């Protein structure tokens, strides 16, 4: 798991999410170790790039937290590219 802490810190600094949302994102990141493919979609133009929503992060403004990361199966590296909020629908 590479760059998740760095991307998390950047997202918190940029968007200022509430503590409850931060905890949900931290827990979600921790669960990626077991199965980084779970609940994610693969970018067909970039075969190592995966993206998706982080469950239970929908806020009152209709945005939710999303993440994009690379899964390098040969080296078993999961590298975070971005954590951020997007509006619905995605």
Whichever domain contains 43, its CATH number is 3.30.2310
pLDDT value at residue 20: 97
The whole domain housing 37 covers 4-87
pLDDT tens, position by position, 13-67: 999 999 999 999 999 999 999 999 999 999 999 989 999 999 999 999 999 999 9
Listed residue (63, 52, 51, 79) closest to 18, CA to CA: 63
Report the number of distinct structural domains present in the chain.
Answer: 1
pLDDT value at residue 1: 94
pTM of this structure: 0.90
Give the separation between CA 78 and CA 3, rounded to whole angstroms. Answer: 9
Residue 88 has pLDDT above 90, yes or no: no
Backbone angles phi, psi at 88, to 5 degrees: -80, 155
Averaged over 67-87, what is the pLDDT? 95
HEC readout, 34-53: CCCCCCCEECCCCCCEEEEE
């Amino acid at each position: 798991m590479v760059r998740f802490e760095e991307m998390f810190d950047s997202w918190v600094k940029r968007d200022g999410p509430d503590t409850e949302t931060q905890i949900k994102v931290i827990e979600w990141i921790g669960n990626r170790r077991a199965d980084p493919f779970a609940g994610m979609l693969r970018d067909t133009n970039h075969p190592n790039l995966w993206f998706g929503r982080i469950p239970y992060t929908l806020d009152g403004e209709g945005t939710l937290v999303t993440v994009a990361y690379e899964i390098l199966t040969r080296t078993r590296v999961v590298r975070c590219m971005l954590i951020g909020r997007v509006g619905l629908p995605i």
